[in-house]
Structures are given as C-alpha cells and as structure tokens.
C-alpha cells in the first residue's frame, strides 16, 4: 500500500525532516496563523484541544492579536457541533458534513481529533510549510494537516496525511483534502460544467443554506461534466477589478467532490477532496494515505489579480517547464482524420515548414495491424505502426520531417483499449469491466486497469519504446477519451484488495507511470488531452507542459472557453489550434488561437494565396510576441459574456511590451462596439508607448491608431479604440515602450 502514495511523498517527507518542532502542551491554547501577503487563516485550539479555524481575512499588523480574534465570536450555536472545525471528524460530537469518516476493524465508527503539535518550515523567502498533527486519543488514528503558503502569489496548497496508528486496519469512508471555514455571509460560487466540445461553462449563484455539491464520478476524463475549478466571491458576485475572491482547484485527475456548506448564520464551510463515492479505502495498521491538494489563491482586488497570481505560481512552481519554451505546430487530425499515408504526411511536413511552425504532430490512426486503426472502433491498444499506411515506420517520418525542417510529434492514448484489438484479446484481465455484465463503451473503448502494476508497465512501455526507437521524437499528445463504466478490476480481486480502491488506485497508478516517464524523459513537451478538455489539473500538469482545453475549435466559442480557462491557467499551457470549425475568416481564427500556444489543424496548401500569406506572417508575428503571451501578465479587458465584444491583453513583466486582442462576438448588425475606447491595464503610466497593429490581413488598411504614440497614463485612463465591428471582426495591437 505504501507504494500507492510514494509519488507524492518524497518532497513532503524531506520537508518534514527539516521542521523545527513546536510541540505545545495540550492544556495551553495554541494559535497558528497561516499568512500570505493579503490573507491570513488563523487556526486555534479550543478548551477541549480541538482545532478550529477562527479567522479567514486580511492579515493583522500585530501578529500577537491573532490569538484574541476568537474572543469576539460566539461559536457553536447551531447544535450541529463545531461548525468551524479545521478538519471535521464523524461519529462523535459533529453532526455536520465530515471531512473524515472512518470505521475501526471492530465496527466502531467514531473518531475524535485533538491537537498534538505543529511545525513551521521556511522553505524559502516566499514559502512556508505549516503542518499540524491531530490525533484520536482512543484509536490513535492520526491526521496531519499541511498548509504550504506562497506569500507573494497568495497561493495556498492544502493537503492531509492520514495515518493509522492503531493495531488493526481502518476503513476510510471519506478522506477530504481540506476543510475550510469562512466567516461572513453572502458567498457567490462560480462553478463550471460542460460536455464534449462544450467544456468550462461557468455559472454563478448566491449560495443559500444547505450544501451545494460539485462532483465527478467519471473515473477518468473526470472534468467532462463538472470541473474541480471554482471561483468563490465574498459579499458580491465576482468582479474582475474589485472584491475578495478565491480561485481554487482540487488538484486530482480522478473523481472529486467539492461541498459548499452554508449554515443559518451564513458562514461557509468548504470540504474538498477525492469523491467518497464507491471509494471506501482500507488503511492497514501503521500505514498512511496522502490526499491530493486543494490549491487556491485569495485576492482582495477581484479575479484579475487572482488569476495573475495563480498564473505566476503555476509557471514558477507547478507546470512542467512552466518558464520554458513551447513548440508551435501543424496537426493533421482535422486535415486527414484517419485517412493518410506516408505521401500525404510528408506533403504536410512541407506545409508545416512553409507555414513556419516548429513541429508536425501526427494524430490518431497511425497504428494497429490485425484490426487497423482506420476509425475509432478498432485498434486502440496495438501500438505498432500500421504497415499499410506507414510501411517505413515512425522512424522514417521523423527523419523526413527533419529533412523538411520541422520536428515530429505523435498522438497516443495508452490508457485505453478497443475491444477490437489484439491487446484486448491477449489481456482481457487488464481491462476495467464487470466480466459477468455486458460491456459499456464510451467512444467504442474501455479503460485499462492502471491499478495493476503490469498495466502501468505496459503504459510506460508504449511511450518508452517510442522514444527508444525514435530518440528525435519531439512531442507527445496524450489522449484519454473514455470514462470508467462497470468499475471492476481483476487485479484487485486477485490481490484481495477491495474493489472500492479502484478509482483512487487508478489515478495513483497513472501518476506513478508519469513520474517514471519524467524521471527518464524530464523535458520532452507533452500535451494532455482528454477527448477535448476532460482532464487538466495542477497535479497532472506536473508532468505535462500544456493541455488541450476542448475539441471545440470554433473561434467564436473558443473566445468564451479560453476566457473562462484563463481564470485558472496561464496561456502557456493552453493549446489553441486554427481549424475549419466556424464561419470566421482566417484572420479571426488565427488571432483567437494566438492567445495561448498556437497550432494549426488545417490543410494549409488548400488555403487561398492571401490566407496563406496571412498565416505565414501571423506565425512570424507570434514568434515576436509569444513570450509576452506565455510569460507576461494577463488582463481580461472586455468580458464577452456581458458585451458584444471581447478584449484580452498581455503585458511583459517589465511593462515594456504588451499585446492586445479584440474581437467582435455577436451576429447582430450595427452594434456599437467601436464607439468607445477600451481602457488598457498594467502599463507604466510614465512610459510612452507606440501602438501598432499586427496580424493585418493582406490588402487591408491599417487601424487609425496604428503607429501612434500615447503615454501609459493616457492608455489606461482614456484607452484606445480597438475598432472591431461587423466589418472588421478582430484586431491585434502591439503596444511597445519607446
């Protein structure tokens, strides 16, 4: 069992080893502030030595006053126990939704948690790790709460370590990552839901008394219908430039559950973790279980600042190679689907070169022989080149791409299998299913059992052998199209491990494969895809450089999708491709896709001469400003959800360069989107900036503002007119200090 958690462990264990022990006598009241630049969470023991959250708000200037905050409150009025418990156990004094629910081997379902000790470790000038040990005096079950706080970015990562200190196995029915408490009243929650090609559809509501639950039970592709990302706004609906907001996410790629619990006083509890649904987990004596992390940032100046902080944090501390470079590419999926051969592909390599992108990405359809992958009903699992389509193998393609002057990348979906495949025939016991029931398919496929180490080795081997055979392979697109139906594991049965471990062990399994892959191939860029945007969280993004937000590449739709993803993710991780979806002109499509990591999925040679010329110039322009998009500060200027236009801006950290994108997003005629200027943000008021239109379509007249010089002060107080309207649906402006 220990192996299940090792991938998350080393950092924490080594960190713990360095901690200075602050063990406090149990009779004494203990106050533990967790402070970032703009926020303080204060935890305190009560007379019974239970740990409570007594404050969530602005930091106090006199640290000694944290200890007396609780004297101003009268808690415990509800009759449901301690509403502000820092980690609510079940079966004793609490009758509210628990953070943890366990049953002892003798059937005793009660748990008490008392404060034992806490430690603080300064990891660097910006980051403090606080850990707090709580223990049940009767069963010796132990809970350690971890809070890792990054001061400058106001980001907190919170997780929990559960340890069975008793003599018999404990069964855990619920094991949350975090249990927060917020005083005040009037909490607005923006949650996100979706389906295929309609991911990240936000909706905001005032939370009313009772529990609002956001969850997933899909196993894999967990974010397809609900998202583990949320915006919580205090006292008012979330605003971009003002108000206290939290942007949060459970960093876990499997089933999750977020409970927002409002009581009669309006106070809010937030309990977040792995979904307990069908996931009772057994913890043998002496073993421990590490929960995934809740990651959140707090801002008192609205969602704009909160996003910029989260973006900075993600690039610096989380996403693989978050500060690095990315490859622009041409993908063949929508250009060919499954219908290609070597001649078609090598012609596309030349297209990629002429377009000016860095890499050619070969998508689905290149593998399987007995059941060739000529459609999505067969072949998945058989990762040998299809000899009819690719008689000379991948190696030939890699070298032909190199000759054409581009790198080569490839699509895989190694966790899944078509029943029509040799893999399924050979290893039916590797497939998640209930053998006595009819199989249920999602996109004609089933999920492999990643709780099984043999299957983990197989998945590792798919990628490893591609790299061994083709050391110059430069990019992987890792897809995951199916959800888990008929959750059943032959492996767990064989090992005598309860089936209720499957959902959790699957995700631990995939993380351990990725851990092993990254140990061997630390930097190769890998795009995470899940039938569009079904997967993408800050745990799995430790292993991926970027992700695919949606198969919906209609540029009009995409403006909204990219806008909503941008609350949580920096543009460097968002793969945006120009395709033939939608009716917008090529300029509009390229402009939209440029707000992220630019790619193309079109038949370039079939475009008109002017369209081709435009694309080539646009890729060149992008190469000139991509560092601002990837690494600069993002400002959401005009929200397409409330307006007939959208405008987004990126500013370099030194405020010397910026790029602004504006789009007309309505079908209605004679709108007034070009009547007023748009206020720019994030510039230096004292600097002078030259405004220049870029990505201009051949033969069109430049914007009236193009070439003009304005002060940063003017641009931020008066603004510039982006001139988007029914005739001119998009514009891109470079704003450079002179």
Choices 54-62, 225-233, 500-508, 526-534 (CB under 6 A): range interacting with ligand GLA = 526-534
CB of 331 to ligand GLA, least distance (A): 8
CA dihedral 313, 315, 319, 322 (to 10 degrees): -160
β-strand partners of 166:
none
Answer yes or no: are the C-beta atoms of 116 and 139 closer than 8 Å: no
Residue of 228, 532, 555, 570 that binds ligand GLA (CB under 6 A):
532
Backbone phi, then psi, for 172, in 5-degree steps? -105, 115
Figure out which of the listed residues 199, 551, 552, 633 binds ligand GLA, where binding follows CB under 6 A: 551
- Contact residue for ligand GLA among 352, 362, 487, 529 (CB under 6 A): 529
Q: Residue 460 corresponds to which tokens in the numbers above? A: 């590792």
Spatial contact of 8 and 161, defined as CB atoms under 8 Å apart = no
User: If you write DSSP's letter for every residue of 603-626 in order, what string do you get?
Assistant: -GGGS-HHHHHHHHHHHHHHHHHH
3-state per-residue secondary structure call for 488-500: CCHHHHHHCCCHH
Check binding of 650 to ligand GLA (CB under 6 A). no
Q: Smaller CB distance to ligand GLA: residue 228 or 599? A: 599
Residues sharing a CB contact under 8 Å with residue 495, sequence separation 6 or more, in sequence order: none
Of 442 and 664, CB closest to ligand GLA: 442
Both ends of the chain: CA-CA distance in Å? 61
Q: Of these, 240, 351, 479, 564, which contacts ligand GLA (CB under 6 A)?
A: 479
C-beta of residue 455 within 8 angstroms of C-beta of residue 494: no
Report the candidate in 292, 275, 95 with the shortest Cα–Cα distance to residue 173. 275
- Nearer to ligand GLA by C-beta: 274 or 361? 361
Question: Which of 46, 363 has the CB closer to ligand GLA?
Answer: 363
| Of residues 224 and 618, the one with the C-beta less far from ligand GLA | 224
Q: Can you tell me whether residue 321 is helix, strand or coil?
A: coil
Strand 546-547 versus strand 187-193 pairing type = unpaired
Q: Is 333 in the site for ligand GLA (CB under 6 A)?
A: yes
Instruction: Round to whole Å and give the CA distance between 532 and 141.
Output: 41
For 537-600, what is the HEC assignment?
CCCHHHCCCEECCCCCCCHHHHHHHHHHHCCCCCHHHEEEEECCCCCCCHHHHHHHHCCCEEEE
| Shortest reach from residue 338's CB to ligand GLA, in Å | 8
Please say which residue, 245 or 575, places its beta carbon nearer to ligand GLA. 575
Instruction: Tell me which residues in 286-325 interact with ligand GLA (CB under 6 A).
Output: none
Min separation Cβ 575 and ligand GLA, Å? 10
Among the listed residues 154, 216, 481, 574, the single contact to ligand GLA using CB under 6 A: 481
Contact 557/576 with Cβ under 8 angstroms? no
- Residues in the chain, how many? 738
Question: Measured from the CB of residue 520, what is the shortest distance to ligand GLA in angstroms?
Answer: 24
Comparing CB distances to ligand GLA, the nearer of 214 and 526 is 526
- Is the Cβ of residue 116 or residue 526 nearer to ligand GLA in the bound state? 526
Candidates 180-188, 229-237, 525-533, 616-624; binding stretch for ligand GLA (CB under 6 A): 525-533
User: How many of the other CB atoms lie within 10 Å of CB of 96?
Assistant: 18
Q: Which residues contact 65 (CB under 8 A, 6 or more apart)?
A: none
Among 261, 364, 552, 693, binds ligand GLA (CB under 6 A): 364
Both structure tokens of 227: 């998202």
The helices-and-strands tally (H runs, E runs) of the chain is 13, 36
Q: Residue 163 Cβ, how far from ligand GLA at the closest point, in Å?
A: 40
46 binds ligand GLA (CB under 6 A): no
CB of 151 to ligand GLA, least distance (A): 38
State in angstroms the smallest separation of the CB of 213 from ligand GLA: 28
CA distance linking residue 592 with residue 422, whole number of Å: 42
Contact region with ligand GLA (CB under 6 A), list: 244-252, 506-514, 524-532, 667-675: 524-532
Residue of the chain from 199, 363, 415, 554 that contacts ligand GLA (CB under 6 A): 363
Size of the site for ligand GLA (CB under 6 A): 11
Question: For ligand GLA, which residue of 33, 531, 555, 712 counts as binding (CB under 6 A)?
Answer: 531
Q: Which stretch binds ligand GLA (CB under 6 A): 344-352, 528-536, 659-667, 668-676?
A: 528-536
DSSP tag of 140: -
Helix (H, G, I), strand (E, B) or coil at 386: coil
For ligand GLA, the binding residues in 405-434 under the rule CB under 6 A are 411
Please report how many Cα atoms fall inside a 13 Å half-sphere around the Cα of residue 5, on the Cβ side.
18
Minimal distance, residue 529 CB to ligand GLA, in Å: 5
CB nearer ligand GLA, residue 389 or residue 587: 389
CA 334 to chain centre: 25
Q: Which is nearer to ligand GLA, 73 or 441 (CB)?
A: 441
Site residues (vs ligand GLA, CB under 6 A) = 333, 363-364, 376, 411, 479, 481, 529, 531-532, 551
């Amino acid at each position: 069992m220990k192996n299940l958690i090792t991938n998350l462990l080393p950092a924490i264990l080594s960190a713990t080893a360095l901690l200075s022990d602050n063990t406090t006598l149990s009779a004494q009241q203990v106050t533990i502030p967790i402070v970032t630049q703009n926020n303080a969470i204060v935890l305190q023991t009560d007379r019974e030595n239970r740990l409570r959250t007594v404050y969530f708000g602005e930091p106090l200037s006199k640290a000694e006053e944290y200890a007396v905050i609780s004297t101003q409150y009268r808690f415990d009025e509800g009759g449901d126990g301690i509403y502000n418990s820092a980690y609510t156990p079940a079966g004793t004094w609490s009758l509210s939704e628990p953070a943890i629910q366990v049953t002892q081997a003798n059937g005793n379902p009660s748990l008490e948690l008392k404060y034992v000790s806490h430690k603080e470790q300064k990891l660097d000038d910006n980051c403090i790790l606080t850990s707090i040990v709580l223990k049940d005096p009767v069963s010796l079950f132990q809970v350690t709460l971890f809070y890792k706080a990054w001061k400058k970015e106001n980001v907190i990562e919170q997780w929990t370590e559960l340890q069975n200190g008793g003599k018999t196995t404990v069964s855990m029915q619920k094991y949350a990552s975090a249990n927060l408490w917020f005083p005040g009243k009037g909490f607005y929650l923006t949650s996100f839901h979706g389906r295929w090609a309609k991911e990240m559809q936000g909706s905001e509501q005032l939370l009313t008394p009772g529990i609002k639950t956001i969850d997933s039970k899909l196993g894999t592709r967990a974010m397809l219908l609900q998202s583990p990302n949320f915006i919580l706004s205090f006292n008012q609906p979330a605003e971009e430039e003002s108000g206290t907001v939290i942007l949060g996410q459970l960093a876990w790629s499997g089933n999750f559950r977020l409970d927002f619990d409002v009581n009669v006083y309006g106070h809010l509890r937030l309990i977040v973790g792995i979904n307990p649904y069908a996931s009772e987990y057994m913890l043998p004596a002496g073993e421990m279980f590490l929960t995934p992390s809740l990651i959140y940032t707090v801002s008192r100046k609205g969602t704009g600042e909160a996003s910029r902080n989260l973006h900075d944090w993600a690039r610096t501390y989380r996403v693989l190679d978050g500060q690095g470079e990315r490859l622009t590419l041409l993908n063949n999926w929508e250009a060919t689907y499954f219908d290609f051969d070597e001649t078609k592909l090598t012609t596309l390599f030349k297209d990629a070169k002429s377009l000016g992108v860095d890499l050619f990405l070969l998508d689905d359809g290149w593998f399987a022989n007995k059941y060739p992958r000529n459609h999505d009903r067969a072949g998945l699992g058989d990762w040998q080149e299809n000899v009819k389509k690719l008689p000379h193998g991948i190696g030939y393609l890699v070298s032909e791409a190199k000759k054409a002057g581009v790198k080569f990348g490839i699509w895989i979906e190694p966790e899944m299998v078509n029943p029509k495949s040799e893999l399924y025939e050979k290893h039916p016991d590797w497939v998640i299913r209930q053998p006595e029931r009819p199989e249920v398919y999602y996109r004609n496929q089933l999920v492999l059992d990643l709780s099984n180490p043999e299957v983990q080795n197989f998945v590792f081997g798919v990628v490893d052998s591609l790299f061994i055979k083709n050391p110059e392979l430069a990019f992987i697109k890792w897809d995951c199209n199916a959800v888990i139906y008929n959750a059943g594991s032959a492996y767990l049965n064989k090992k005598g491990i309860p089936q209720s471990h499957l959902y959790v062990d699957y995700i631990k399994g995939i993380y351990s494969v990725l851990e092993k892959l990254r140990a061997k191939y630390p930097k190769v860029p890998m795009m995470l895809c899940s039938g569009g945007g079904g997967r993408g969280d800050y745990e799995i993004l430790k292993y991926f450089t970027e992700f695919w937000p949606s198969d919906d590449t209609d540029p009009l739709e995409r403006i909204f999708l990219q806008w909503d993803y941008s609350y949580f993710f920096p543009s460097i991780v968002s793969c945006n491709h120009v395709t033939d979806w939608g009716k917008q002109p090529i300029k509009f499509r390229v402009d939209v896709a440029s707000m992220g990591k630019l790619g193309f999925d079109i038949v370039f040679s079939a475009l008109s001469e002017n369209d081709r010329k435009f694309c080539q110039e646009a890729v060149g322009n992008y190469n000139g400003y991509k560092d601002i998009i990837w690494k600069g500060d993002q400002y959401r200027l005009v929200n397409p959800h409330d307006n007939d236009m959208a405008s987004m801006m990126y500013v370099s950290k030194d405020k010397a360069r910026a790029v602004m994108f504006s789009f007309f997003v309505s079908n209605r005629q004679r709108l007034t989107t070009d009547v007023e200027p748009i206020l720019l943000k994030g510039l230096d008021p004292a600097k002078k900036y030259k405004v220049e239109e870029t990505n201009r379509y051949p033969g069109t007249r430049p914007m009236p503002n193009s070439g003009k010089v304005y002060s940063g002060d003017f641009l931020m107080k008066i603004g510039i007119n982006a001139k988007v309207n029914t005739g001119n649906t998009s514009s891109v402006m470079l704003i450079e200090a002179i």
